[in-house]
Amino acid sequence: MWLLFLLVAAVAAVFSCARVCRAAVAAARTGRPARPPAPAPAPDPAGDDGHAPGLTLYEMAYLSGGPQRLADVVLVLMAQKRRLLLAHTGWATVVEPVAQDPVERATLSAIGPDGQRPIPAVREALVADEAVRAVADKLVADGLALPAAARPGIRSGIRQVWAAALLVVLTAAAAYWMAPPGTDTALLLGWFSLPLVLCLGTLAVARFELHPYRDWATDEGEQRLPGKADPPGSRLPSAPLAPLTSLISLALHGPSALTDPALRAALHSSGA
């Protein structure tokens, strides 16, 4: 009977690990540039930071946290320029309806003609907007961001490996409990350790090798980000460039890196 449990555990482990491997190979292939990388863009209010050649502020935000992070960056950017008011209660209010780029225009459109809207609703509208998709498409074409179709494959595959590891443990316990008297339980558990080691080994490799693909950036895109592994602001300018420093920290590390408590409360209170 325990051989049947072992067969089930082995099939589940092999199938789930093979799925992760196939998804990783597909991600690596789709992550290669489809065309030569574009030259560094001309400086723009939301783009030139002096630390990531060829990446705008919006692109850094997308590679670090996806379209939701990009939406947070443009909201804070417009708030720092006094064109929006972000309340600690999680509402965005238009102060001056002036946009300097397509993403800012999309932000004003997302807020709507009433001039006020909850930040979660604005963020949701921005994520689906054509201007944000254009940023993502450019990064994907340059091989810096993973295509949307490839991300769920690895994520779901890793979840399946976790489920297979749990199944191995459960089947091993059931086989141990149902083993007839005189069965060599050490040998029995030793056989079940093989699919368990396979699952845990795959998870360990995925943890260290596939982390860029589980997020938004490819390996190349991850390398283009300026000092993402450093503490917020540790490699960024200070003094006269404090607003830009705050925006770069937000793009790389999320709302918790903001130094302005009012802005941080506005984004966190809205579910960021």
Provide the number of structural domains found in the chain: 2
Q: What is the pLDDT of residues 215-243, one digit of tens each?
A: 688 778 888 888 654 444 444 433 333 45
- What's the burial of 42, exposed, middle or buried (CB within 10 Å: 0-12/13-18/19+)? exposed
What is the domain range of residue 63? 57-144+227-269
Same domain, yes or no: 12 and 72: no
Same domain, yes or no: 140 and 69: yes
pLDDT of 145 above 80? yes
Same domain, yes or no: 120 and 188: no
Residue the block writes with tokens 């789709």: 30
Q: What is the CA radius of gyration of the chain?
A: 24
Q: What is the pLDDT of residues 169-184, one digit of tens each?
A: 999 999 888 888 877 8
Same domain, yes or no: 101 and 236: yes
pTM score, two decimals?
0.63
Quickly state the pLDDT bin for 213 (edges 50, 70, 90): very low
Q: What is the pLDDT of residues 2-39, one digit of tens each?
A: 788 889 999 999 999 998 888 777 666 655 544 444 44
Are 178 and 1 within 8 A, CB to CB?
yes
HSE-up (13 A, CA, CB side) for residue 187: 6
